[in-house]
Amino acid sequence: AGSGAALAQAGNEWPHYGADQSNTRYSTLNQINTGNVKDLKVVWAHSMGTLESQESTPIIIGDTMYVTSSTGPKYVFALDAKTGARKWSYQPELPSDYMSTVCCGLDNRGVAVANGKVFYGRLDAKLDALDAKTGKRLWSVTVADYKKGYAITSAPLVVKDLVITGMAGGEYGVRGFVAAYKQSTGEQVWKTYTIPGEGEPGNETWKGDSWKTGGASTWGVGSYDAKRNLVYWSTSNAGPWGAHTRGSDSSDVSQYPNLGSASQLAFDADTGKINWQYQYTPHDAWDFDGINEGVLTDLTIGGSKIPALLHADRNGFFYVLNRDTGKVVAADPFVTVNWATHVDLVTGRPVEAPNNEKRPQLGKWARNVCPNLIGGKNWSPMSYSMQTGLVYLPAFNMCMDIANREEEYTPGKFYLASEFNLGMPGATGDNLAEFIAWDPVAKKKVWSIPEANMWASGAMTTAGGLVFYGNIDGMLKALDAKTGKVLWQFRVGTGITQSAVTYAIDGKQYLAIVAGRVKGPPSFFGKLGQKMMEASPEGGILMVFAL
């Protein structure tokens, strides 16, 4: 690992989910560049074997690509990264009812690879280690009980001799955690709950026993800073969404901020001890999951060098945190935000709209809240270019009506205590999404591309002066990273939500994308969901391009 920002950047290989442990999704390869990207052609393709949504980031080590499908019959593939020929595939035996406790469509965002092993998190909340050469299972551990609503949807993080995973289940009344296992044996080394338990500082910020079903799951991905030996993981919404269940109905969040939820946590990599935490949305009542990735880099702000963690939150604010201390350096809206007027940089807290008008209450609707609960940005990853110093991110332009309601908790059943209408376009224009170039130092949008339908995909940047992203209509695009000019596009035939990756073998640079439209519960999205389904044909495909 490199110094400062753990910047062991991706070059010929794409060794981690986010390219590097800093989650920059930046590659130093430049054979494909602004001058020749127009000549990209498909060199091979591989079916993902299912019509479910596909959200995987391929990992490339040497000449092998490791990629996951969202569901069976085959769940993990090892492919020849040059030709697409299959080396092996893996099919775990999942229980027949595992789908009944997966919130939002069947998905898997990829594996982690280290020390000759492939680590794979499953929808039944198990973690498997496979032999990277043969695909043979070496060990399997139960991370949590899937019958209670736990699942694993994202790639684990490999740190030294550990493999670290988060978990999903915030809609099922679970209590979130992050857990670390020995890569060699699967023995658990540490497990840290995101919500403080009885007798722990912060437990009093949860009303009564609400901490036991408080959500704060960790279904996104982690980052790692080797110099500080810190693992950064962020947490989901407080559960259930209806905030009256775990505090008061009002925006006086000082008594019940529900610590641990909608937060950024920094863990000691060896022990799992929480070093610091920062809460993006105290006493969350909007389902503003804080799970989006933390991107690590060093920024020069006002003449001094800041060890930064960059985070574009579902709540609509773009954050720059000091990753040493957790102190907020900047927080600025990157989409239309009206639930809060601003973030107070002294207290670190958002200042909510006056008179609780945008905070849902029991039986009282908060109308036209922006952004909606799909967020200013959802899980699709952003990218930080070392070349331009800009962040490239997919954003939504959507608002909602939302209210709290009474609901009983039943283990293994959806637990929201909330009702909502998401089928509302946003405050600016009739485009439902946009792709944004953001300057984290100047704290402003440099350029943006409106997208008619919701869900612009994740981003990837390269030293060739390029940024790549796609959309739900299935168009993969290469842009000039400085200007946003579209230099190349290709229709892959199904919706794209994940970002492209790039790698080189025998001196030739390749570009790979996994595509397969969002399934999600259409009821969440209303009429807009129907529109999205119509825009994007079903299908799961991995496509690889080269000059």
Which pLDDT does position 72 carry in this prediction?
84
| Active-site residue identified among 171, 225, 284, 332 | 171
| Active-site residue identified among 107, 124, 249, 287 | 287
- Tell me whether residue 419 is one of the annotated catalytic residues: no
- How far is 419 from 405, CA to CA, in rounded Å? 7
* Closest-CA residue to 394 (of 283, 293, 269, 285): 293
What percentage of residues in the chain have a pLDDT greater than 70?
A: 97
Residues β-bridged to residue 505: 508
* Closest-CA residue to 469 (of 519, 511, 518, 425): 511
**Ramachandran angles phi, psi of 468, nearest 5°:** -115, 140
- Both tokens of residue 499? 């970002």
- How far is 50 from 287, CA to CA, in rounded Å? 29
**Distance of CA 395 to CAs 65, 305, 312, 438, Å?**
29, 28, 9, 11
pTM of the model: 0.96
Which pLDDT does position 5 carry in this prediction?
40
Which pLDDT does position 104 carry in this prediction?
76
CB neighbourhood size of 19 (10 A)? 29
**Distance of CA 411 to CAs 146, 147, 207, Å?**
11, 8, 19
Which pLDDT does position 6 carry in this prediction?
43
- Both tokens of residue 37? 């990207």
Collect all residues with Cβ–Cβ distance below 8 Å to 500 and sequence separation of at least 6.
460, 468, 469, 470, 476, 511, 512, 513
- Do the beta carbons of residue 373 and residue 286 sit within 8 Å? yes
Collect all residues with Cβ–Cβ distance below 8 Å to 132 and sequence separation of at least 6.
61, 64, 66, 78, 113, 116, 117, 118
Classify strands 162-165 and 177-182 as parallel, antiparallel or unpaired: antiparallel
- How far is 229 from 175, CA to CA, in rounded Å? 25
* Closest-CA residue to 123 (of 135, 109, 137): 109
DSSP at 361: B
- Tell me whether residue 171 is one of the annotated catalytic residues: yes
**Ramachandran angles phi, psi of 498, nearest 5°:** -85, 170
Q: Extract the runs of DSSP E, i.e. beta strands, from 212-261.
A: 223-225, 230-234
- Do the beta carbons of residue 176 and residue 150 sit within 8 Å? no
- How far is 98 from 113, CA to CA, in rounded Å? 25
Q: For the residues of 48-59, what is the DSSP string, one character each?
A: -SSSS------E
- Do the beta carbons of residue 382 and residue 394 sit within 8 Å? yes
**Ramachandran angles phi, psi of 129, nearest 5°:** -115, 125
What percentage of residues in the chain have a pLDDT greater than 90?
A: 84
- Tell me whether residue 80 is one of the annotated catalytic residues: no
- How far is 475 from 336, CA to CA, in rounded Å? 26
Q: How many CA atoms lie within 13 A of 397 on its CB side?
A: 19
**Ramachandran angles phi, psi of 456, nearest 5°:** -75, 155
Dihedral sign for Cα 294, 215, 521, 366, please. negative
- Tokens 């670190």 appear where? 348
- For residue 240, whether the previous peptide bond is cis, meaning omega lies within 30 degrees of 0, is yes
Classify strands 466-470 and 475-480 as parallel, antiparallel or unpaired: antiparallel
| Active-site residue identified among 12, 108, 237, 378 | 237
DSSP at 37: G
Give the CA diameter of the chain.
63
- How far is 497 from 109, CA to CA, in rounded Å? 11
* Closest-CA residue to 166 (of 182, 154, 184): 154
* Closest-CA residue to 236 (of 295, 275, 297, 281): 281
DSSP at 62: T
- How far is 378 from 312, CA to CA, in rounded Å? 9
- Do the beta carbons of residue 10 and residue 2 sit within 8 Å? no
Amino acid code (one letter) for 54:
Q
Give me the sheet containing 398-404, strands edge to edge: 366-369, 398-404, 418-425
- Do the beta carbons of residue 256 and residue 235 sit within 8 Å? no
Q: Counting Cβ atoms within 10 Å, is residue 75 exposed (0-12), middle (13-18) or buried (19+)?
A: buried
- How far is 189 from 178, CA to CA, in rounded Å? 11
pLDDT averages per 10-residue partition of the chain, 547 residues = 48 96 97 98 96 95 97 94 98 89 84 98 97 98 95 97 96 95 98 97 96 97 97 96 86 85 98 98 96 97 96 98 98 97 97 93 93 96 97 96 93 89 80 96 97 94 98 96 98 96 97 88 65 80 98
